[in-house]
């Protein structure tokens, strides 16, 4: 049973890292116009610096998740708590996104994607925190 939980936790972690790496890299390097053209209407009323901060926080979460899981699997059990913290941080990012899109009346268009990006880090955080000795 522990092997199955470990596989699910690792898969959720890998999906989360991949999705947020792509999103963070795009936000970190794209121009304001390119972001707007891609459908990031929420950046209209905030500075590009804030968008870049969000991007770098997402990338920091990815690094914490990857390093924590890899560290755990090479024998550093304490490293797993980096993955738990990073997954919680990325889940909180998505909760913020859900609230932002709701305030802009965009939930009808964005809620499915936001929930799809909220669920895996929550699963990863819960499984790694509850079953750390897999």
Per-residue 3-state assignment (H helix, E strand, C coil) for the chain: CHHHHHHHHHHHHHHHHHHHHHHHHHHHHCCHHHHHHCCCHHHCCCCHHHHHHHHHHHHHHHHHHHHHHHHHHCCCHHHHHHHHHHHHHHHHHHHHHHHHHHHCCCHHHHHHHHHHHHHHHHHHHHHHHHCCCC
pTM of the shown model: 0.91
pLDDT digits (tens, 9 = 90+) for 44-96: 889 999 999 999 999 999 999 999 989 888 888 888 899 999 999 999 999 99
For 106-113, what is the mean pLDDT? Answer: 92
Instruction: Give the start-to-end residue ranges of the domains of the chain.
Output: 2-130
């Amino acid at each position: 049973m522990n092997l199955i939980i470990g596989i699910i936790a690792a898969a959720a972690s890998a999906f989360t890292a991949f999705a947020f790496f792509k999103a963070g890299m795009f936000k970190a390097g794209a121009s304001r116009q390119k972001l707007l053209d891609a459908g990031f209407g929420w950046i209209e009323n905030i500075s590009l610096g804030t968008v870049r901060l969000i991007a770098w926080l997402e990338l920091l979460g990815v690094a914490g998740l990857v390093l924590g899981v890899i560290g755990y699997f090479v024998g550093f059990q304490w490293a797993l708590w980096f993955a738990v913290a990073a997954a919680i941080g990325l889940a909180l990012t998505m909760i913020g996104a859900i609230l932002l899109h709701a305030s802009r009346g965009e939930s009808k268009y964005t809620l499915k994607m936001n929930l799809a990006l909220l669920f895996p880090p929550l699963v990863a955080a819960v499984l790694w925190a509850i079953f750390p000795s897999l």
